[in-house]
Amino acid sequence: MPDTGLALRVHDTLTGRKVRIDPGVERGRKLLRLYVCGVTPYDSGHMGHAFTFCTYDVMVRFVEAGGVRVRYVQNVTDVDDPLFERARRDGVDWRELAEHELAIHLRDMGALGWRVPDFMPRVSGEIATILRAASKLHAQGYAYKTDGLYFDASRYRGYGKLSHRTRRSMIRKLREENLLGTVGPGAKQDALDFPLWRSSKPEEPAWPSKFGEGRPGWHIECSAMAMRYLGEQIDIHGGGRDLAFSHHESERAQSECLTGKIPFART
Ligand SMILES: [Zn+2]
């Protein structure tokens, strides 16, 4: 299909402006690299999920209608606290719960007629990729090990800029979302630091690593999977607005520290 020159403009969270998307070129053809944070399959989807994914669906179709290819990655967070908590509450295996809820998600989105993402990697299938990213951050001095492996947020200048939050407002949101964790000796050194690798509770999955048996923290999965499927720099990183802090803020910090390439996401 010929490039019709249709211009896509989207709201950019970092600058607060509407920006024109100019996709990069791969093998002589324009290619938009898009990563959208997907579901944690522990419960049925709601209208907010549908709104998010339909929004990006419209974007993908618009760009493709203009003759530009899109490589669309949407992850599945099948290793995470809400999933394990629900599995424990209902007395079911976390894998079964994830399979069941993911099938419902795919059925619902299919009913809405979405353009299926090109890749839907699952955390449980990407542990080696995630561990490589965490190890590199540790080797580069951006992460430290105590009861888990933590990213040192103070090493990234501008932590908070993406979500336009002060330190106080970031800490407040972490507390509200029950993500603050323990600060102090043997745990994380500062409230804004976040786990790249953590120990697992009984009945939770655990993988061997040089940081101890455990599982990945939440944010590192998306940096690692985005880079694996799209490369070290991407055109658009999307997701629900509530993810700007702490998820996308943390992804931005660790990704740019990992590769030294700025920006990780152009929009
Ligand atoms: Zn994500």
CA 210 to centroid of ligand 1, rounded, Å:
24
CA 76 to centroid of ligand 1, rounded, Å:
9
CA 162 to centroid of ligand 1, rounded, Å:
15
Is residue 72 one of the residues assigned to a domain? Answer: yes
CA 130 to centroid of ligand 1, rounded, Å:
13
State the sign of the Cα–Cα–Cα–Cα dihedral 90, 94, 98, 99.
negative
CA 254 to centroid of ligand 1, rounded, Å:
13
Q: How far apart are CA 34 and CA 237, in angstroms?
A: 6
Output the tens digit of pLDDT for each of the chain's 267 residues.
Answer: 455 656 889 999 999 999 999 898 999 999 999 999 999 999 988 899 999 999 999 999 999 999 999 999 999 999 999 999 999 999 999 999 999 999 999 999 999 999 999 999 999 999 999 999 999 999 999 999 999 999 999 999 999 999 999 999 999 999 999 999 999 999 999 999 999 999 999 989 999 999 999 999 999 999 999 999 999 999 999 999 999 999 999 999 999 999 999 999 999
CA 244 to centroid of ligand 1, rounded, Å:
10
Q: How many domains is the chain partitioned into structurally?
A: 1
Q: Is the whole model's pTM more than 0.75, yes or no?
A: yes
Is residue 43 one of the residues assigned to a domain? Answer: yes
CATH of the domain at 14: 3.40.50.620
Is residue 265 one of the residues assigned to a domain? Answer: no
CA 3 to centroid of ligand 1, rounded, Å:
30
Alpha helices in the chain (DSSP H): 47-65, 81-90, 94-111, 127-139, 167-176, 218-230, 249-259
CA 219 to centroid of ligand 1, rounded, Å:
6
What range does the domain containing 165 cover? 8-259
CA 149 to centroid of ligand 1, rounded, Å:
19
Q: How far apart are CA 61 and CA 196, in angstroms?
A: 34
CA 248 to centroid of ligand 1, rounded, Å:
7
Q: How far apart are CA 58 and CA 64, in angstroms?
A: 10
Is residue 163 one of the residues assigned to a domain? Answer: yes
